[in-house]
Structure 1
Amino acid sequence: MEPELFFSTLKHRIKKEWILCFCSAIGFGIAAHIYKFLNFLPNWDSLLNLYSSQNKIDLGRCFLSVGCLFGSYYDLPWINGMLSLLYLALSAVCISILFDVKKTLPLILIGGMVTTFPTVTSTMSYLYLADGFFLSMLCMCIAAVLIARAPATGFRGSLCVLFPASLLCAFSLGIYQAYLAFYLTLAVIYLLWKLLFSKDSIKELFCLALRFAVSIFAGLLLYLLSFQLILTFSSQKLSEYLYISNTYSLKMLRPLTSAKYVVLDFFHYFFDFSNGVNLFLLLNVFLFLLLTLLFLEAFHRQKLWDPKNRVRLLLSLLCIVCVPFAAYALYFTNSSLRAHNLMVMGLCLVYLLPALFYESMPADSRFFPCLKRWAILLLSFLTLYNFILLANISYQKLEISYEKSFGTVIRLADRIEQLPEAAACDKIAVFGSLADSESIAIYFPPNMTGITDGYILRKQDTSMGENVPQAMLRDYCGLSYSDTTQADKDRIAQTAQYQEMPCWPRAGSIAAFDNILVIKFSEENHS
């Protein structure tokens, strides 16, 4: 087929609803994230990944290298950012297809919510891998559409979608395992929607739920098999980060403990008033009040209170209760795990519920139906505006923390060049840490992981064998040093010369020990 004919055919197959949702996602996404796309605003991890092949097999992300391949392995704000936005916009379109959204305002709201949700902002702070993560999300969305569009019954029809859907799930899990929770939340909310607003029988909905369950279990199995093979051939060991080694060994399965933390963390995300009242929390209160009214009305409109619809009502209530457990599903793989903001993209779907209700409302010009539509519209756009504010404030914090850290590195380099003994040093040892440099999140709320208003000069050791001060001295000041073993650090810490050293920024806080350059940020306990 000639290119002109191909694109002409494609043009006629793309629906205007998809274009509207896609354009909304791009527009709101640029409003929220262009600050990040047009500036280099790294966090502590970014500084160690200016170029990285994303070989994170030890974290279970055996396909992350493939996911990040399209944006190159460099941290390129505009390229990685626009790729991320493209995947998010396509994910929004998939969600609109899944729920068969036709009305203009819900399509606009879906596109906006998906690209501005705080989890997206947190992920953008790790922009060197954001495109890979959002490709993982897109794969889950496509898998859900395949499952939903399969014939209602029939083994052959189900099988033709289960295989590609399972492959997509496995590939997604191999990029970032947290999107398992997103897929489960999407499936639960879709089943809830079918119970409330479709004429499908309970048998047909059971077959649909079964297809979702089989796709995710088959995807998990394929992922685990491929991961174990790759792990074996690469001779790598699982990391202790976020208790990953325990997760894959299934040593920490405590369902009741996990269920308790699911409930606590779900309500903490939406209703944590411990640090006072703000717009995010107030909007969440109105959101849940509005959702309660909308669900009650939907139950009444669909006559679910009727005894003959009792099973449908009970299943609908079960789906509502299951939403938090789906959004935090990873807790049931390891009771010690606590989700940070990058891991809760499934909660975005809660904010999409008002838009979906708007779509399902029948045309009615009376006062109260109109009032409900205006309430949904006002609440949703205020939420979108607040998400855009959170994104831009977060990026301003990143810029300030980066510039503050950059200034400190220049001062470090100046001190090193003034130290005659430093010329003979080829190794570096960093002791202690700068005040306010260990935080990995800033609380607005929500807790914005990857954002800090402190220093990003963290001295943590990484699998790359270097720390941030070491990397910044090399990349920004041309001072290259290899890392120091823990045995060398322990030996240095026992010397009188080290114990008499003052902490940064006082004179004498940088010294040479044979061929090792020592920087003392703060006192460390070496007992």
Structure 2
Amino acid sequence: MPEQVLLRLKNAIKPQWKTAFFAALIIGFLTHLFMFTNAIPNHDSLLNIHMSQKKFSLGRFFLSPFSGISSYFDLPWVNGALSIFYLALTSAALTELFGLRKKLSIILTAGLLVTFPTVTSTFSYMFTADAYMLGFFTTVLSLVITKKYTYGFLPGAVLFFVSVGVYQANLPLALTLITVVLLNEILTQQSSLRKTLTYALRFLMTTGIGMALYGITFTLYTNFFAGKISNYQGLNEIGDTSITISERFTLIKESFQEFFFRGYITEMPVNLFEMLNVATFTLIILGFVWFAVHHKIYRHGWLLGIAIVLLLSLPISAYSLYFVSSDVSYHMLMVMTLVSFYYVPIVFYDNYTPVKFTTPVLSWSTLLVSALIVFNFAIIANISYFNMNLKYERSYAFMNRVVDRIEQTEGVEEATKLAVLGRISMESSVSSVEVPQNVPKMTGMLGDRFLAHPPHYKRMMKNYFGYSYGLSSAEEREEIKESDLYKEMEPWPAASAVQRVGDTIIIKLDD
């Protein structure tokens, strides 16, 4: 009977999972409620109000079925609620993966996950955000099963294959989480070398088999189904050796420093974000030393050496896609893997044993710093949403004026095409200076406007104003640019900035 099945399921749920799940729900909804209850598009949202998300050319073979769970519409509340649900499940899975026991550890782990800037940036692409959040959960679940069961690497590999087929950046996410798990085993659980290597071998089998399955699928798509792979992020140049290993390590160092210490290495101001990152790495180093001393790891040379290598390899694991293709350019949507750095002090805190002075200092410092990070991430999220709303309001107001001007153009009823030439300038000190200086590089959320290219004008006119126009071809636009009429036109907002020639409405913006 269903009731009996549900009862058994309820009894199987650990208290720690419940804490993680509900902490993620509460913190997640409090942080992102504004985005879930407002329809705020970005540049891609204009083109994806309804889209099947069949991104085979990007190697994301499972993105479409994952997106289809919530329909293929851009539904902020539905997609947002599902996203938080998936993240809550991910929080419970992380609790099991790290073996967390303390309530505060679990709550902070959940809070870091649901407020992390990558999650926020992904929510600017709300039309498909839930699919990526489910991909995160699938990644973590594959590792939990691998760790828990002797032959868990078999189902784990399948789950991992699916998660990478949603987004390739789930590979470095898995690698950094594995690194944290192995560090945890050596430093806090005092596992033997044999047990540690057993876990490492299982994780290697999971990722190895999973990536092999992905590689087979990739090959089948390109060779047997004549599928074309996009050049986006160097996908068509996987395995390219045009840059040296040392150059790849330089890219890793630069990207790592840019994310964690931007204010210290560039002309951008130092914000609370960078200060808390310095505190986080300080806690990682102090915690590592504490366990090495108090658990006497220093007596076991091999284990201590492995632990040091694991810790130092975290940035390499996080930016491992630089070794896959030379044209990869990391942005905020790709760095969910970096949340693992913030988990290290929490994993340490969960395992500190009473030692006079040092334990209280490290414990309280970890709690305060981690809580501040969660709060700051939430503030960053809402500053980003605030800027998105400003972008939308500016763009909508501008488009309203353009449509009004078109309606007043003589003979407009004969027009069937748009020729948008140039770009509109909507510079605002808030969006171009204050916001970028106070938040990390939030992909999809920064900037002054989202009307970047002619297709954006076409879709916004159609979906927001009810006017359906085609777009002139590149050749036609070049021909228009060479015409005497266009040369006599003045750029927007001049009265002559909108003209009709035959079946084409010409809109001249800033050159």
TM-score after normalising by structure 2 = 0.95
Partner in structure 1 of residue 164 of structure 2:
173
Against the structure 1 CA distance between its residues 208 and 253, is the aligned structure 2 distance closer, same or farther, given a 3 Å change threshold?
farther
Amino acid at match of 1:37: F
SS in 1 for 2:442: strand
Partner Cα separation in structure 2 for residue 243 and residue 367 of structure 1: 51
Matched, 1:279 2:278: no
Query: What is the CA-CA distance between 1:236 and the residue it aligns to?
Result: 4.0
SS in 1 for 2:500: strand
Matched, 1:352 2:343: yes
CA contact 1:80–1:131 (8 Å) conserved in 2: yes
Matched, 1:459 2:459: no
Once the two structures are superposed, the pairs formed by residues 44-443 of structure 1 within 5 Å of their partners are 44-151=43-150, 158=151, 161-231=152-222, 235-247=226-238, 250=240, 252=242, 254-273=244-263, 274=266, 275-306=268-299, 309-363=300-354, 366-435=356-425, 442=436
Q: Which moved more, 1:281-290 or 1:323-332?
A: 281-290
Query: What is the CA-CA distance between 1:222 and the residue it aligns to?
Result: 1.0
Partner in structure 1 of residue 41 of structure 2:
42
Partner Cα separation in structure 1 for residue 438 and residue 61 of structure 2: 33
Against the structure 1 CA distance between its residues 235 and 446, is the aligned structure 2 distance closer, same or farther, given a 3 Å change threshold?
same
Partner Cα separation in structure 2 for residue 321 and residue 295 of structure 1: 12
State the Cα RMSD in Å: 1.8
Partner in structure 2 of residue 154 of structure 1:
none
Partner in structure 2 of residue 479 of structure 1:
467
Query: What is the CA-CA distance between 1:219 and the residue it aligns to?
Result: 1.1
CA contact 2:188–2:348 (8 Å) conserved in 1: no
CA contact 2:410–2:500 (8 Å) conserved in 1: no
Partner Cα separation in structure 2 for residue 142 and residue 38 of structure 1: 29
Partner Cα separation in structure 1 for residue 503 and residue 393 of structure 2: 30
Partner Cα separation in structure 2 for residue 199 and residue 493 of structure 1: 71
Matched, 1:519 2:510: no
Matched, 1:32 2:23: no
Residues 403-446 of structure 1 show CA distances to partners (whole Å, capped at 9, x for unaligned) of 1101111111100000013221111121111225899x945332
CA contact 2:237–2:326 (8 Å) conserved in 1: no
Partner Cα separation in structure 2 for residue 430 and residue 236 of structure 1: 32
CA contact 2:105–2:350 (8 Å) conserved in 1: yes
Against the structure 1 CA distance between its residues 75 and 217, is the aligned structure 2 distance closer, same or farther, given a 3 Å change threshold?
same
Query: What is the CA-CA distance between 1:492 and the residue it aligns to?
Result: 1.4
Partner in structure 2 of residue 500 of structure 1:
488
CA contact 2:190–2:295 (8 Å) conserved in 1: no
Aligned residues: 503
Query: What is the CA-CA distance between 1:399 and the residue it aligns to?
Result: 0.8
Partner Cα separation in structure 1 for residue 382 and residue 212 of structure 2: 40
Q: Which runs of 5+ in 2 are unaligned?
A: none
Q: Percent identity?
A: 34
SS in 2 for 1:420: coil
Query: What is the CA-CA distance between 1:457 and the residue it aligns to?
Result: 0.9
CA contact 2:118–2:333 (8 Å) conserved in 1: yes
Matched, 1:444 2:438: yes
Partner Cα separation in structure 2 for residue 385 and residue 448 of structure 1: 17
CA contact 1:253–1:334 (8 Å) conserved in 2: no
Amino acid at match of 2:348: F
Query: What is the CA-CA distance between 1:57 and the residue it aligns to?
Result: 1.2
Partner in structure 2 of residue 16 of structure 1:
15
Partner Cα separation in structure 2 for residue 281 and residue 377 of structure 1: 18
Partner Cα separation in structure 1 for residue 400 and residue 411 of structure 2: 19
Matched, 1:490 2:478: yes
Query: What is the CA-CA distance between 1:507 and the residue it aligns to?
Result: 1.2
Residues 28-64 of structure 1 show CA distances to partners (whole Å, capped at 9, x for unaligned) of 1112100100111111101111111001111111211
Amino acid at match of 2:414: A
Amino acid at match of 1:375: S
Query: What is the CA-CA distance between 1:250 and the residue it aligns to?
Result: 3.4
Against the structure 1 CA distance between its residues 130 and 186, is the aligned structure 2 distance closer, same or farther, given a 3 Å change threshold?
same
Amino acid at match of 2:449: Y
CA contact 1:173–1:180 (8 Å) conserved in 2: yes
SS in 1 for 2:270: coil
Against the structure 1 CA distance between its residues 358 and 120, is the aligned structure 2 distance closer, same or farther, given a 3 Å change threshold?
same
Amino acid at match of 1:6: V
CA contact 1:96–1:107 (8 Å) conserved in 2: yes
Partner Cα separation in structure 1 for residue 362 and residue 317 of structure 2: 28
Query: What is the CA-CA distance between 1:231 and the residue it aligns to?
Result: 4.6
Q: Which moved more, 1:498-507 or 1:91-100?
A: 498-507
